[in-house]
Amino acid sequence: MGISRLLEKALLVGVFFMPAIWVSGAQAFCPAPASLPVAQVQRVVDGDTLRLSDGRSVRMIGLNTPETGKKGQSAEPFAEAAKRRLQALVDESGGQIGLRVGQQGKDHYGRTLANVYDRKGANLEVQLLSEGLGYLVAVAPNVALVDCQQVAERAARQAQLGVWRDPPVQPSTRLSKSGFAIVSGQVKSVQRNRGGIWIELQGSLVLRVAPASVNSFDTAIMV
């Protein structure tokens, strides 16, 4: 299959491939740095996004919670539970949080990317992951806390809490919409060119590793 056809399929599916970062010696917790800038939360937008009183929107690093209902769509399972839990954690912290801004400080929506801590130094992403209220997403270069975040997610997964109550892995042949998904499938082909590495799975799914992200992978197993 030509690369133009792969690009067409990738665009139609509307997915992106994030590096899976394997780590050893995972920490049991994510300690807060000695000094963090403190911010006041204006409101909790959803399970992984906060609006601050200074006008900034903060997207929590390493955490992806189910989507709340927007534009007439129904909320995904555990979306409201994640939002309520984050609201409770913020309230317990008196509405004040500490921010550890990522190496990449903003996303393409202009939101601040940060790890978030309560006033006692507890990491809020780890709290939600440990309760099964979201998924770990490790996106370089913002991977400073990935070790302890993996520990938290693994604990929830083993206990089948929240989003892990039913296996969330979807076969690549059954994907019907774009967005976040945990997918398994048989690899049909792997190609590499100036656009990166392209991995075609059975069904309509094509994964692209962008050139800037290639060094985050063990490319020997892909090509």
The tens-digit pLDDT sequence of the chain (223 residues) is 444 444 444 433 433 343 333 222 323 467 888 889 999 999 999 999 999 999 999 999 999 999 998 777 888 899 999 999 999 999 999 999 999 999 999 999 999 999 999 999 999 999 999 999 999 999 889 999 998 999 999 999 999 999 999 877 777 777 776 667 777 778 888 888 888 888 888 877 788 877 777 776 666 666 5
DSSP summary character for residue 91: H
Q: What pLDDT score was predicted for residue 14?
A: 38
Query: Which of these, 86, 70, 69, lies nearest to 134 by C-alpha position?
Result: 86
The whole model's pTM is what?
0.76
Contact 31, 193 (CB under 8 A): no
Single-letter code of the amino acid located at 112: T
Contact 92, 36 (CB under 8 A): no
CA contacts within 13 A on the Cβ side of 32: 21
Radius of gyration of the chain (CA): 18
* 23-26, long-range: CB < 8 A, 24+ apart: 23/146, 23/147, 23/150, 25/147, 26/147, 26/148, 26/150, 26/151
Query: What residues does each domain of the chain span?
Result: 3-20+167-221, 38-164
What pairing do the DSSP bridges indicate for beta strands 182-184 and 169-171? parallel
Contact 138, 125 (CB under 8 A): no
Q: What pLDDT score was predicted for residue 32?
A: 87
In CATH, the number for domain 38-164 is 2.40.50.90
Strand partners, 106: 112
